[in-house]
């Protein structure tokens, strides 16, 4: 039951928002009593913490599986983007914004873990791209990795990119193309254009 509550709560948090969903909503949706939820999770903060922690483990494990296949680094970034978007439900409800505003401690802890995972994987991606000659040899790996990380979070800032003007999926596409066009060689550009064209078909 604990696992079922976690799965349902995570799904509702991502679709409706961490603040918007109440313990009553989860109980009603599952057809169980609120008391049953409290038997496994002492309060909503605990449930939010477990939910985000579990989601992070699922996503980080999936990213590691994608990286282990050792695809072309450009393809790899697109695979990771697709995988993350699938698990975050296209972030319809701005869950990151709600998490940051109403559960700042959980948000900060999660962001720290995300930084370690994302920064390391981006560094490895760039190094492999350099070895394959699809990323420019004169780029500063440390700088580009940090810029990529910063940008990935900036596009989720609704003050800069209001959801009334930008769809989350479009922003992810724009940002990834922007990042790659700045670092690819002519050889890499051919691969990138091929992926973009196939995605538009």
> Is the pTM here over 0.75, yes or no?
yes
Rounded-to-integer distance, Cα 20 and Cα 15, Å: 10
Cα 92 to chain center, whole Å?
A: 13
Domains, the chain, in order of start with CATH, read: 2-200 (1.10.357.10)
| 70-121 tens-digit pLDDT | 999 999 999 999 998 888 765 555 677 888 889 999 999 998 998 888 888 9
| 79-89 tens-digit pLDDT | 999 998 888 76
Rounded-to-integer distance, Cα 177 and Cα 192, Å: 8
Q: Is 54 exposed, middle or buried (0-12, 13-18, 19+ CB in 10 A)?
A: middle
One-character DSSP codes across 2-34: HHHHHHHHHHHHHHH-TTT--HHHHHHHHTS-H
């Amino acid at each position: 039951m604990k696992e079922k509550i976690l799965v349902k709560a995570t799904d509702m948090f991502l679709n409706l928002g961490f603040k918007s969903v109440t313990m009553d909503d989860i109980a009603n949706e599952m057809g169980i009593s609120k008391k049953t939820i409290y038997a496994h999770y002492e309060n909503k903060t605990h449930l939010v913490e477990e939910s985000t922690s579990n989601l992070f483990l699922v996503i980080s494990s999936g990213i590691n599986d994608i990286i282990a296949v050792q695809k072309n680094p450009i393809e790899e970034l697109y695979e990771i983007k697709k995988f993350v978007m699938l698990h975050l439900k296209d972030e319809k409800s701005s869950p990151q914004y709600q998490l940051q505003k109403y559960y700042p401690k959980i948000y900060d802890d999660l962001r720290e873990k995300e930084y370690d995972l994302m920064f390391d994987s981006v560094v490895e991606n760039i190094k492999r791209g350099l070895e394959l000659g699809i990323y420019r040899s004169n780029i500063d790996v440390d700088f580009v990795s940090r810029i990529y990380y910063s940008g990935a979070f900036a596009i989720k800032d609704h003050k800069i990119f209001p959801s009334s003007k930008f769809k989350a999926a479009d922003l992810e596409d724009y940002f990834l193309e922007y990042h790659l066009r700045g670092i690819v060689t002519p050889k890499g550009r051919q691969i990138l254009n091929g992926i973009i064209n196939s995605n538009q078909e």
